[in-house]
Chains A and B, each alone.
Chain A
Amino acid sequence: GEDVEQSLFLSVREGDSSVINCTYTDSSSTYLYWYKQEPGAGLQLLTYIFSNMDMKQDQRLTVLLNKKDKHLSLRIADTQTGDSAIYFCAERDTGRRALTFGSGTRLQVQP
């Protein structure tokens, strides 16, 4: 079945850039997603990228996709303390149409 992997923890200083990485296995994935979860809350969609794209930029967020290596990254420029959260990478299961999530990366932003 599909598998999505992420590193568990990232710590950065306020104002620096953050890069969160993700690898996936389903080569037929057409859309890949980044969600943000704040403590005790649901998931909020940050951005997504279509598999025929290499890069997508949306304000402070940049998504890079290396389809050959099945590697996805999320770069947050000028990271703020409000960006502290858990970030989930997800791909949509082409069979069930449900999302398959990574384990999440906890981003800690230090003042």
Chain B
Amino acid sequence: DGGITQSPKYLFRKEGQNVTLSCEQNLNHDAMYWYRQDPGQGLRLIYYSQIVNDFQKGDIAEGYSVSREKKESFPLTVTSAQKNPTAFYLCASSMGQAVDTEAFFGQGTRLTVV
């Protein structure tokens, strides 16, 4: 079955550590996105990538980094520079840049700083 997979589902990080969230899709989608969700708020765009080896900052990119070395994978690293990383992180993918393409979401990773 085609889909988008995020791992792990739950992640705990000590203050000062970097941590990487995984996002893999087998939908042959060109575009991939990372969003952050805080309680009572909508999703905010962290980074997005329209094509392999290219990515752009979203609205809240500070303290995060990404790579897009393969079409299928778009890992997100939460660095120690991110002051408030505890949140629910959602990865999405879509076929391309056309406005009528649906975005498919993974099941999310809940990151907690301990």
Chain A residues in contact with chain B, CB under 8 A? 1, 4, 8, 29-31, 33, 35, 40-45, 48, 50, 88, 92, 94, 96-104
- Chain A nearest CB: distance from B15 CB in Å? 24
Q: Is the CB of A97 within 8 A of B99?
A: yes
Once the chains are docked, how many angstroms separate the CA of A30 from the CA of B98?
10
Q: Is the CB of A30 within 8 A of B31?
A: no
Q: Is the CB of B90 within 8 A of A31?
A: no
Q: Is the CB of A30 within 8 A of B45?
A: no
Q: Is the CB of B48 within 8 A of A103?
A: no
Q: List 9 A-B contacts (CB under 8 A).
A: A1-B59, A42-B6, A42-B105, A96-B56, A98-B33, A98-B45, A98-B48, A99-B92, A101-B35
**With known contacts A41-B108, A43-B90, A99-B103, A104–B42 Cβ distance under 8 A:** yes
